């Protein structure tokens, strides 16, 4: 795939995003309680409103030894009750192979559900439980990167609304990769700030701990930060960056996206 094909794909994707966004802007019903799950690696405990569909999508550029674009990074969320939602996540990755060649990889499909456990009161946090199932789609340019097995993951999601402009979110989870039978522990801490009624900011640390045996634990620590802007009660734009805390040159990137409530 040439770089010109890549540019055409970007134009087509941006046109599609703009078209659906404009349709959302003219929706007549307003849902003030909706909260997007992007940007960032941590997941908030809020549930998509009953019988509503949220579409969260974006573009990401990363460096991890080679240049890659996630185009798109997309999640669909559907509120099945007042306290639960089902989720579908799909990422497509455009990877540089060198010599101006590119390959498009279809990443594993993630099916999941999130359920509210406790609404929160005072210093007692909001709590939700989330379970995902990663299903490999087996389309990679490099066969060594194919995820061969279905893999589950489970999380507890917490959030404390400290003031009307500051909140603390934190996740604890366990993830299987679909490659190894050894799970990784996922830990995330996110600080969120409401700068204005429409503009928000966040900074978060998310970490993976994998224990391969007694005294042999591998830790990965990443940091991301960014901004979100609510252009309409149903539409949110975001811009963010991320890097590896241990060696920022080994992994870093930038992303942008949009989240909206379709109906």
Q: How many helices (H) does the chain have, and how many strands (E)?
A: 1, 13
The pLDDT assigned to 185 comes to 97
Rounded to whole angstroms, how far apart are CA atoms 146 and 221? 24
The pLDDT assigned to 199 comes to 97
The pLDDT assigned to 102 comes to 86
Q: Report the predicted TM-score, pTM, of the whole model to 2 decimal places.
A: 0.83
Rounded to whole angstroms, how far apart are CA atoms 258 and 239? 9
Q: Tell me: the pLDDT tens digits for 192-226?
A: 999 999 999 999 999 999 988 777 889 999 999 99
Q: Which domain holds residue 81?
A: 3-261
Cis peptide upstream of residue 52 (ω within 30 degrees of 0): no
List the one residue out of 113, 71, 115, 103 whose CA is nearest residue 90. 71
The pLDDT assigned to 138 comes to 58
The pLDDT assigned to 8 comes to 52
Q: Tokens 């890097």 correspond to what residue?
A: 243
Rounded to whole angstroms, how far apart are CA atoms 79 and 48? 5
CATH number, domain containing residue 159: 2.40.160.40
List the one residue out of 157, 155, 164 whose CA is nearest residue 126. 157
Tell me, letter by letter, the H, E, C secondary structure of 159-216.
Answer: EEECCCCEEEEEEEEEECCCCCCCCEEEEEEEEEEECCCCEEEEEEEEEEEEEEECCE
Residue 50 is classified by DSSP as B
Q: Is 146 helix (H, G, I), strand (E, B) or coil?
A: coil
The pLDDT assigned to 6 comes to 44
List the one residue out of 26, 18, 31 whose CA is nearest residue 79. 31
CB 74 within 8 A of CB 93: no
The count of domains in the chain is: 1
Buried/exposed code over 242-255 (b: 16+ C-beta within 10 A; e: otherwise): bbeeeeeeebbbeb
The pLDDT assigned to 32 comes to 55
Give mean pLDDT in consecutive 10-residue pieces for the chain, a chain of 263 residues.
46 48 41 82 96 96 90 94 96 84 87 97 95 81 66 97 96 92 96 96 96 85 97 96 94 96 87
List the one residue out of 79, 61, 78, 77 whose CA is nearest residue 69. 61
């Amino acid at each position: 795939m040439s770089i010109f094909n890549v540019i055409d794909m970007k134009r087509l994707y941006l046109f599609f995003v703009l078209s659906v966004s404009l349709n959302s802007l003219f929706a007549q019903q307003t849902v003030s309680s909706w909260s997007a799950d992007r940007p960032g690696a941590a997941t908030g405990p809020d549930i998509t409103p009953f019988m509503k569909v949220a579409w969260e999508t974006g573009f990401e550029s990363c460096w991890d030894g080679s240049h890659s674009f996630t185009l798109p990074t997309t999640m669909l969320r559907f509120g099945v009750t007042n306290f639960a939602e089902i989720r579908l996540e799909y990422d497509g990755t455009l990877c540089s192979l060198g010599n101006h060649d590119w390959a498009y990889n279809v990443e594993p499909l993630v099916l999941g559900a999130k359920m509210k456990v406790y609404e929160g009161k005072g210093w007692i946090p909001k709590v939700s439980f989330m379970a995902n199932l990663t299903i490999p789609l087996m389309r990679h340019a490099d066969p060594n990167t194919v995820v061969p097995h279905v893999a589950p993951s489970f999380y507890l999601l917490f959030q404390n609304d400290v003031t009307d402009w500051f909140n603390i979110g934190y996740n604890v989870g366990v993830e299987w990769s679909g490659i190894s039978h050894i799970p990784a522990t996922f830990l995330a801490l996110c600080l969120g700030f409401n700068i204005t009624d429409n503009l928000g900011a966040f900074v978060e640390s998310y970490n993976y701990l994998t224990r391969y045996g007694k005294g042999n634990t591998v830790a990965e620590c990443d940091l991301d930060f960014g901004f979100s802007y609510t252009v309409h009660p149903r539409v949110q734009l975001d811009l963010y960056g991320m890097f590896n805390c241990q060696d920022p040159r080994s992994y870093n990137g930038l992303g942008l996206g949009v989240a909206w409530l379709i109906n």
